[in-house]
Amino acid sequence: MTEKTFVINGTRMKVVDVGGQRNERKKWIHSFEHVNAVIFVISLTCYDEVPFEEVTDLDVDVNEKNNMIESIEVFEHTLRYECFKNTCFILFFNKYDLFEEKIKHSPITRAFPEFEQDTTDVQQCVDYIRQQFLEKAQSNSSRALFTHITCATDKENVKKVFNDVQIGLVSDNLDKADLV
C-alpha cells in the first residue's frame, strides 16, 4: 500500500494505492472505514492479459482468465463491503490512448465473446466495457458513481478529471447531509 497526499483547489486529498495482486486484497479493506470515495482504476488494455498469478499456468485460456474479467469481479466484490455501502465510487478507465491502438490488433471479444458490435470502434468498445462495470453497481442505486475515460499521460485530462472528482465529492457530501 502506498499513500500520496496532495491539494487540489484548496482541498486536501489522500490517495491510497492498494495494488491489484490477489494476495494484497484482504489486507487493505480494514484500512478504509471512513473514506469519502473509492477510486477504482481499470486499465482498458488489460482485456487480453492474463493475471499475474496465472502466468505460471501454461494452460490458461485468456478467454476465461484475463485481467479485465478479474477487474470486474474485484469491483463487484469491493462494492459489497459493508464499509463502502454508502461510499461514492469513481471509476477511471485508463490507458485510452493505448487501448485505441490495441483493439486494431486484438479484439475485445477475447474477454467478451458476446460483444456483437464493431470491434474496431473505440467508443463502442469503451462503452461496452464501462457498461459491464455499471451493471455490477446497479444493485445500490443510492450510491454515487462516476466514470471517467482517462489517459494518465495527458496532464490536462488528469487535472480535469480530478476537478470533476472534487466537484462530485462535494455534491455527494452535500446530498448526504440533506443540504441540497
Residues annotated within the binding site are 17-21, 94-97, 152
Q: Which of 48, 73, 43, 74 is nearest to 62 (CA)?
A: 48
**Which residue type does 107 have?**
P
Spatial distance between the Cα atoms of 68 and 50, rounded to a whole number of angstroms: 9
Q: Which of 61, 63, 62, 125 is nearest to 99 (CA)?
A: 125
Evaluate whether 48 touches 111 at the Cβ level (below 8 Å): yes
Spatial distance between the Cα atoms of 138 and 158, rounded to a whole number of angstroms: 27
Residues of each annotated binding site for GTP: 17-21, 94-97, 152
Rg of the chain (C-alpha set): 17
